[in-house]
Every structure is written in C-alpha cells, then in structure tokens.
C-alpha cells in the first residue's frame, strides 16, 4: 500500500487527517501492529479529536481482521491509556496526535509496558509491513470488548498523594485542562 512515509515518526505515527493519515492507512497499520507483535489481543483507546471515531473504527477493524481481539477502553487521556496497558499487561494503540493541532491524528503504541514502539524499535517495521503488504495470514476474526478502568486509575493517582498532609495545610488548586482529555476524569475526582 502506498502511504506517506513521513507519518512514521520517532515515537509515534502521526499526520494530517485525511491527507496523510486516513481510514485506509489506519486499517493497514492495525493489521501491521498485530503482524509485527504476533499478538492475539490489543488494548485501544482514543482522544477527543473529531477524526478519532473514524480512525478508531478503521484501526480496530484492521486489528480484528488480522485475528486479534480488541479491548476498547474508550475516550481516555494518554496517562490513562498507559495505566490501562500496564494494568492489563496488554499491547496497545492510542488514537491521538497528542499536543499537535486538531487537523492531526495518529497512534501512540505500546509493546508491553514500559516498552513503547519507537522509530528504532517497531515503527519503521510497521511502515515496511504496510508498504509491502507483508501481513501475516489472519488466524480468524477478532472481536471487541469494552473495559472501563477509570475508577482504578483514579484510585492509583490518589494513592500517590498524602491526603492527611493536604488536610493539615489546605490550599486552593486551579486545574486548566485546556482541550486535553484530562477534563472528563478530573470531574470524577
């Protein structure tokens, strides 16, 4: 498949939607991820970008068509995604372009926490698999399940704080979540 090689960065895959990264590329990247890692289950989350639902649908379809199951953790922040990968011990794909402008989308990928895919360790391999249509034979069709680890994530983060010390010295805290994904989870605390 012809794909813009420039979307395969040092620490993620990212490009402008739909010119550099579209549904066809996302589908192939999902298949390549399963082919490269030889896995049977992949955790997938996404951020709030308007192209997120389309990219999520395409990449998860590629994962499932390649024979792996998808564990959908929904719309989450990147730190929630990393927490979920560590908690479940699953490889993962986060549909996000992180701090980039809204026209972008892409993927942050985990082999197994704390090992992320990078340009030297996996991302260029995915590019080669996609460009050469070098996908492994599919072992069947995967399915999708949903998992909400929000409460566990909140408990883990709050477990890092000395609540008694804060009660002894109360303070006001202002949280500017901007356009980031931390807003929804912040409202639950």
Distance between CA atoms of 59 and 33, rounded to whole angstroms? 10
Asked whether the beta carbons of 94 and 75 are under 8 A apart, the reply is no
Asked whether the beta carbons of 55 and 23 are under 8 A apart, the reply is yes
On the 0-12 / 13-18 / 19+ scale of CB atoms within 10 A, 90 is buried
Asked whether the beta carbons of 29 and 59 are under 8 A apart, the reply is yes
Identify the helix (H) or strand (E) that includes residue 167: helix 163-168
Contacts of 13 (CB under 8 A, 6+ apart): 7, 21, 29, 106, 107, 109, 123, 126
Is residue 98 annotated as a catalytic residue, yes or no?
yes
What's CA 34's distance to the chain center, in Å? 14
Asked whether the beta carbons of 148 and 74 are under 8 A apart, the reply is yes
Catalytic pick among 77, 98, 143, 150? 98
CA quadruple 49, 55, 56, 57: dihedral sign: positive
Catalytic residues: 98
């Amino acid at each position: 498949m012809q794909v813009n090689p420039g979307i395969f960065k040092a620490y993620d895959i990212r490009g402008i939607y739909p010119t550099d990264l579209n549904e066809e590329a996302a589908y192939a990247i999902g298949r390549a991820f399963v082919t490269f890692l030889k896995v049977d289950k992949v955790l997938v989350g996404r951020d709030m970008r308007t192209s997120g639902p389309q990219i999520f649908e395409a990449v998860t379809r590629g994962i499932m068509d390649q024979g792996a199951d998808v564990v959908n953790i929904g719309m989450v922040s990147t730190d929630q995604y990393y927490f979920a990968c560590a908690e479940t011990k699953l490889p993962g794909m986060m549909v996000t372009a992180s701090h980039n402008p809204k026209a972008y989308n892409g993927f942050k990928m985990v082999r197994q926490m704390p090992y992320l895919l990078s340009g030297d360790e996996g991302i260029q391999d995915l590019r080669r698999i996609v460009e050469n249509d070098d996908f492994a034979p599919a072992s069947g069709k995967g399915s999708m399940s949903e998992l909400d680890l929000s409460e566990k994530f909140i408990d883990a983060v709050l477990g890092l704080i000395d609540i008694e010390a804060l009660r002894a010295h109360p303070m006001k805290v202002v949280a500017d979540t901007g356009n980031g994904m931390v807003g929804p989870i912040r409202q639950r605390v």
